[in-house]
Structures are given as structure tokens and as C-alpha cells.
Amino acid sequence: MRRLPLEGIRILEPGQAWALPFAITPLAALGAQVIKIESTVRPDMSRGQPQPDGQPPEDYWNHGGAYHEMNRNKLGVTLDLRTEAGVRVFKELVTISDVVAENFPPRVMHNFGLDYQALRAIKPDLIYLSSTAYGNTGPWRNYIAYGSALQAVSGLTWVTGYEDGPPVQGGLLYNDVISAMNATFAILTALAFRTRTGKGQWIDLAQYEVAVSQLGEMVLEYAFTGRAPARQGNHDPALAPHQVFPCQGNDRWIAIACRSDHDWEQLRMVMGNPAWAADSHYATAPGRKVHEAGLEQSIAAWTRGFPPEELMQRLQAAGVPAGVVATNKDLLLDPQLRARDFFRTVAQPAPTGLRPHLRSSWPISGIQPPPDQPAPTLGQHNRYVLAELLGYPPDQIVALEAQGITGMVPAQRRPQRPAPPEELLRQGFINEYNPDYKTILGLS
């Protein structure tokens, strides 16, 4: 088997939550040795939810689904960086590593004495990624921001929502995802640069700027015309119909878009050329746009009579752009994703067991990554890293454990006790619950 592309690269990841760990996951899958660094005082916040079967076990911090999604194929080490000994160990790891990637406010690593300027003194060719909310310079540099706040301040929330409603936060912290992708790309670019020049890099990634860069057309709208675009829900400024329509089933929907009069004629044909569709107002795109509300009501009355999957196939066969509005369950069962091995089953410690996770790297011809290893339990690889990589004798390792500088149990334990799924359904926090979900997904 060919070597993986990043074998021989070692990455230290003192990162939290989503935007940073998710950036490093594909690098681990491509062969980099990633050492995830947490502390027992402040473990990664993603260790909490979701828990297997919604029931947190005694060591709940080792079973959070979000944590496992973003930290497979990594080694897990705990270090209390508030201590001189913890900082000393971290610096020793830097001397044998290639990349440090962190996502704390700038003052944090600076106060630890572990910022780029300090670490390049002991590792001149170090690549150092700072993934911060607003960057390492400017008046906002030390502000803390999570994905929801960055969505709002970047303008993404302003353009999201219905025409007659307020701004709406997205159901997913989209900015965390695109910040992670930018960070992955930046690290790979810096590694290529170092290969050619022998020089390291400091990557000052501002998640705020990443978010704004995704709204280029909105910024240009004002720069060229002085206009601020209004929220338009699922509509298009010129095309109609361009909407999500209800279908048979509990909260099932289909998206339909007509790009041209030809698409409209094909949609009419699939609908059986109902009398209302022959209205002259609907013959052209401008007319359909003016009379959009009535048009959508009539189409919705028709789509309610079909399962979304059947309707999607009929419309696509006629050349009409249409797609099911997929649920998380739909994605896990999607034949296209399964055919491409997009979900990889990973055996995690009991009681979690087998679970599907996203494929963590891009398919590369001629390279078959080995099966994913589960995310490390808290401090799982302390002794391996300290003894095998740094050469610490057993008594020194025991001393670090006795001082609480390393460990395998959180200093504070606050397991969450979620409400039963039946109660969550009643309250509207979940839309569907399948007790036999493991059978449905082929996990039992």
C-alpha cells in the first residue's frame, strides 16, 4: 500500500469545539500524526452531545458524538498549560512537530508564552495557525465569538429569512465549517511553501473575514448600486416558481425551480396540464413572478399528494430542477453517498459501539486510507506521547499525573440528563424519533 500523503508530518492541536478540530481531521486521515491537547480543567466542549441513545454513561465525556466526528485518527493528551511544567512539555513537543494549530483568542496563547513569536524561537520552521474570531490585530482582536455571533456580525444572518420577517440564524453554524476548510487549505499551502523554501509560516486566520468573503455579491451590491438587498426567503429575484413545497408525510418538502419558460412547460406537463396553469399570467417568467403567490399556492396543492422522492424523480426525468429537502436520516440512507463510501463505520468504545461518520478526507486515486480510528478518550495517549515521543521516564510521568498536569478524568463533571425523546417530540425540539434507528442504519 502506498504511503499516505502526510505521513511524517506531526501536528499539535490545542483546539476546541468545531472550527479548528474539523480543519485538522482531514489532515489526520491523510496520514499526519495529530496530537490533540486538552486539559482536565477544560476539556474540549464538544465532548458533551449527542450521547449514545441519548443516555450519558458514567464517563460521558468520552462519548460525545460531535467530539468523535471531529477527532478521529488523533492522539489525545492532557496538559495544564497554566503550569510551568505543562508549558515545558508543550514546548518539547513543538521541537519535534511541524504544525501548531489553535483557536483561542490571541491573548490566551500569548499569556501561556506559547504564541508564534515564542515558539519560532525554538522551532524556526514551525507552521503556526491561529484561527481566531477577528484576527490578531485590530480593535476586536481579543473579542470572543462563537459561530452564531460571527454569522450575525458578518452579515450572513441579515440576508437569511423571509421577506416579511426578521433576520434568522441558520440551522447550522455555517461559518465554523468554512473557517475549517480555509484553515485546512492554509496549512497545506504552508507545508508546500516550507518544502520549497525551508521556512515556516504564521497563518493569522480571522473567522470573521472568512464569513464576509462568502458574501461577496452582497457587498458588491452596495458598492456598485448603493442598495442593501432585502431578505427573500426561498425566492429568486427573477425566477418563478422558485420555492420549497410541501409533500406527503410529516414535514416533508421538495424544492422546485423553473429556470425558463421551457422548464415551466415541462412542470405543467408533469402536473397533468391543470386548467389553472393555462392562465396567461403564467406564460412568461415576468408574469409568473408578478403572480407568484397564487402560483405557489396552486403548486403546493398538487405537491401535497406525492412523496417527495417520487416527485423528485418525475420532475428530474422531465428536466425540471427539483430535489428532496433531505433530513439527517435521509442523508445517512442516501444511495449516492453510500455508493461513494461517504459514511465510514467506526467502532467506538462501549456503550457507543458502531456509528457512521463522515469520510474525513477527499478520495485520492491510488491511495486507500486505513479504517478510521475512534477519537481518543480524555488523556488516552498521555503515557505514549510522554514516554515514546519525549523519552520521559516512568517516575516523571507519574509525577505529572500526581500534580494534575496530566490526567484522564475532568476536574469537574456535569453530565447532562436530556429529556426522553417522547417529551422532546411533544415540545417540538425533535421532528422524528425512530427507536429502531440502529436497525435502519445497519448497525445492529
Q: Is the pLDDT of residue 1 over 70?
A: no
What's the pTM?
0.92
The reply to whether CATH 3.40.50.10540 applies to domain 10-214+340-440 is yes
Extended strands (E) in 106-225: 127-132, 201-206
Q: Closest by alpha carbon to 93, among 104, 109, 77?
A: 77
- Pick the catalytic residue: 80, 98, 115, 176? 176
The residue extents of the domains of the chain are: 10-214+340-440, 242-326
Q: 432 or 204: whose pLDDT is higher?
A: 204
In the structure, what pLDDT confidence band is assigned to residue 366 with cuts at 50, 70 and 90?
confident
Share of the chain above pLDDT 70, in %: 99
Average pLDDT value over all residues in the chain: 93
Given this model, what pLDDT does residue 12 score? 98
Q: Does residue 176 sit in helix, strand or coil?
A: helix
Say yes or no to pLDDT of 394 above 90. yes
Distance CA 374, CA 384 (A): 17
Query: If we measure between CA atoms, which residue out of 248, 231, 90 comes closest to residue 162?
Result: 231
53 among known catalytic residues: no
pLDDT digits (tens, 9 = 90+) for 172-202: 888 899 999 999 999 999 999 999 999 999 9
DSSP secondary structure letters along 377-403: PTTTTHHHIIIIIT---HHHHHHHHHT
- Say if CB 355 and CB 348 are below 8 A apart: yes
| Superfamily in which the 242-326 domain is placed by CATH | formyl-coa transferase, domain 3 (3.30.1540.10)
Window from 35-39, 152-156, 270-274, 363-367 with minimum mean pLDDT: 363-367
